[in-house]
Structure 1
C-alpha cells in the first residue's frame, strides 16, 4: 500500500505541471460550456413553455429588444438573440464574439402594462403550495411589483447585454481554474517556508489540506468580488445609455425590492430566511453573497443621475 502511494506521489510530482494545466483547462471548459453553446443548454433550461410548446417571444418584446441593441450601439446585432423565458426578469448567457453568440431570455410579465396585466394575472404562481390570489392585498402588491415601464424593461435587458458584451461569463469562468492553480502555489510556498519538501508524508499532506482550504476561501472571496464588480459595471453601462435608461434602472430595482418584500411576507418563515426586510437577498453563506445587494445597485444608479445633474 505504501509502495503504491509513493509511486503515485512520484507520478504526481513528475507530471504536476501538465496535470495542473489539464485540470485548470477542464474546469474552465466546464464553466464555459453553456456559454459556448447557449442554445443547447441555457436556453433549454430557461425557455418558457405553454401546453407542451415553447413560448414564442412577442413582437412587442422583440421590438424592445432590438431597440435596446440599437440604443446600446451593439456593432454585431446578429450575435444577440432573444427568447421567451420563465421567471420575472431577464437572464442571459453566451459570448457575443463566439459563433453561437449570446442569448437573452425575456419573461412574460414584460408584456404586461398597468392597464393590461394579463401577462401576470393569467399565470398561476404557487407559494407554499397555494396559488397567489391576485385580488388580495398581497397579491395586488406582487402584481404591481411585476409590472415594469418600458424604460425599466429596456434597462433590465441592457444590463444583460452589457454583462455579456463585456465578457462577464469568461471572467466568471476563469475564477475557479485561477484559484485551483493558486492551491498549487500555496502548497509549494508553504512547504518552502516550513522546509517540508523532504519532510514526513503526514506533514506534507496537512500542508496540502491547508492549501486547499486557502484556495477554497480565495475562490469564494474572488468570485464574490468579481460578481459584484460585473454587476455594478453592467448597471453603470446600462444606465449610461441615457437618462431614460437610468430612471428605468431605479424603477427596476425599486420593483425588485418591493417584490422581494412581498414574497418575504407571503412565504412565511422560508421568506424570512431568504429575503432581508429591505428586500435584498440574504448571503448564501458567510463567505459569499447570493447577489449584489439590490439597494446598493439602486443607489449606484441614483449617484450616476446626480452626477449628470451636477
Structure 2
C-alpha cells in the first residue's frame, strides 16, 4: 500500500516537476530568510537578554557607541539599524536594510563593560556545564579578561555585523540552497537523458537518483560553507578598512575570542574538547563541514590589512 502511494507521488512529481522545483526553491529561499524578513518577531525574541523578568535595556553609552560605528563606518541608511542587548558573548544580527523591517544588531551584555572596568563582568552570572563560574578562581580570572573588550574592539565587532547586513550577507547565504537544488535537479535530468536511463530498469533509475541526491547534498554542504566563509571575510575586511583603530580593534577582538574559547575548552572538559580546538578555533561538527571561517585566519587577514602601506 505504501509502495503504491509512493509510486503515485513520484509519478505526480514527474508530471509537474517544473512546478514542484519552483515551489521547493522558493520555499528554501524564504525559509533561510525568515529571521531577516521579520527580525523583530523572529530574531529578537530568540536572542533578547532578560533580567528580573524584563528585557535588558541597552545602556546609553553603548547606544552612543553603536551610533558612532554607523557614522564612522558610513553605513548606508543608518536609521534602518537598531540595537538591543543579547545574552550571547558575541554580537549577532539579522535583517536587510532595504526591507521594511530594517535591521537589528544584538550587542552582548558584557559589551557594557570595557577593559577599564573589568571587575564589572563579575556581576554577570555565567553557567558552564551546569556550574556557575567562580570569577575569583584561576579559570574565572582568565575568562573575565577575555570577556572585556576595549572600545576599539567593541566598535569593530559591531561594525562587522553592520557590514555583514549592508553587504547583503544573509541574502547571499540564502541563495545557496535553492541554487544547489535547481542545479542538482537539472544536472540529474540532463545526465539521465544523456545516458538513456529513462528507458532503463526502474531499479537502475532509483540507484541513480540516490547517487544524484548524495552528490547534490555534498555539493550544497561544500558550497554553503565556502560562501559563508567568504561572506564573513568580506564583513571583516569592510569593518577593518574603516580606520586603523577599527583594524587594531579587530585583532584584539579575535585574539580575545581565541583565548575565550580556550578557557571554555578547559572549563567544559571533554565536551569542550569536542567543540573547541586547542588553538581556540571551533572544531568542525562533521568532517566535511566548516560553516565558519577559522578565527585565526580571520585575525590574520586583519593583520595583513594593518601591514598594508598607508596611502
Question: What is the TM-score normalised by the length of structure 1?
Answer: 0.96
**Does 2:236 align with 1:267?**
no
1:48/1:85 contact within 8 Å kept: yes
Alignment-derived partner of residue 135 in structure 1: 136
CA distance in 1, matches of 2:222, 2:231: 14
Structure 2 spans left out of the alignment, 5+ residues? none
CA distances 1:209-230 after superposition (whole Å, capped 9, x unpaired): 1111111001100000001100
Report the count of equivalent residues: 310
Alignment-derived partner of residue 219 in structure 2: 218
1:28/1:176 contact within 8 Å kept: yes
CA distance in 2, matches of 1:7, 1:289: 39
CA distance in 2, matches of 1:290, 1:169: 14
1:239/1:301 contact within 8 Å kept: yes
**Does 2:86 align with 1:85?**
yes
Q: In the superposition, relative to structure 1, how do residues 197 and 76 fare at CA in structure 2: closer, same or farther (>3 Å)?
A: same
CA distances 1:160-187 after superposition (whole Å, capped 9, x unpaired): 0111111110111111111111221232
SS of the aligned residue for 2:94 comes to strand
Residue 189 of structure 1 and its aligned partner are, at CA, apart by: 2.7
CA distance in 1, matches of 2:254, 2:8: 58
Q: What root-mean-square deviation, in Å, do the aligned CA atoms of Structure 1 and Structure 2 show?
A: 1.6
Residue 118 of structure 1 and its aligned partner are, at CA, apart by: 5.3
Alignment-derived partner of residue 148 in structure 1: 149
Alignment-derived partner of residue 238 in structure 2: 237
Alignment-derived partner of residue 97 in structure 1: 98
| Runs of 4+ displaced beyond 4 Å | 1-7
SS of the aligned residue for 2:296 comes to helix
Of 37-46 and 106-115, more deviation after overlay is shown by 106-115
CA distances 1:73-110 after superposition (whole Å, capped 9, x unpaired): 12311211000111111100011110001100001111
Residue 202 of structure 1 and its aligned partner are, at CA, apart by: 1.5
Residue 192 of structure 1 and its aligned partner are, at CA, apart by: 2.4
CA distance in 1, matches of 2:36, 2:120: 29
Residue 240 of structure 1 and its aligned partner are, at CA, apart by: 0.2
Of 170-179 and 185-194, more deviation after overlay is shown by 185-194
Alignment-derived partner of residue 18 in structure 1: 19
Question: What is the TM-score normalised by the length of structure 2?
Answer: 0.96
Alignment-derived partner of residue 209 in structure 1: 210
CA distance in 2, matches of 1:119, 1:202: 67
CA distance in 2, matches of 1:94, 1:104: 9
SS of the aligned residue for 1:175 comes to helix
Residue 27 of structure 1 and its aligned partner are, at CA, apart by: 1.0
Alignment-derived partner of residue 123 in structure 2: 122
Residue 116 of structure 1 and its aligned partner are, at CA, apart by: 2.1
Of 293-302 and 2-11, more deviation after overlay is shown by 2-11
CA distance in 1, matches of 2:307, 2:233: 17
Q: In the superposition, relative to structure 1, how do residues 11 and 298 fare at CA in structure 2: closer, same or farther (>3 Å)?
A: same
Residue 12 of structure 1 and its aligned partner are, at CA, apart by: 2.0
Of 277-286 and 9-18, more deviation after overlay is shown by 9-18
Q: In the superposition, relative to structure 1, how do residues 145 and 4 fare at CA in structure 2: closer, same or farther (>3 Å)?
A: closer
1:281/1:290 contact within 8 Å kept: no
Structure 1 spans left out of the alignment, 5+ residues? none
Of 282-291 and 103-112, more deviation after overlay is shown by 282-291
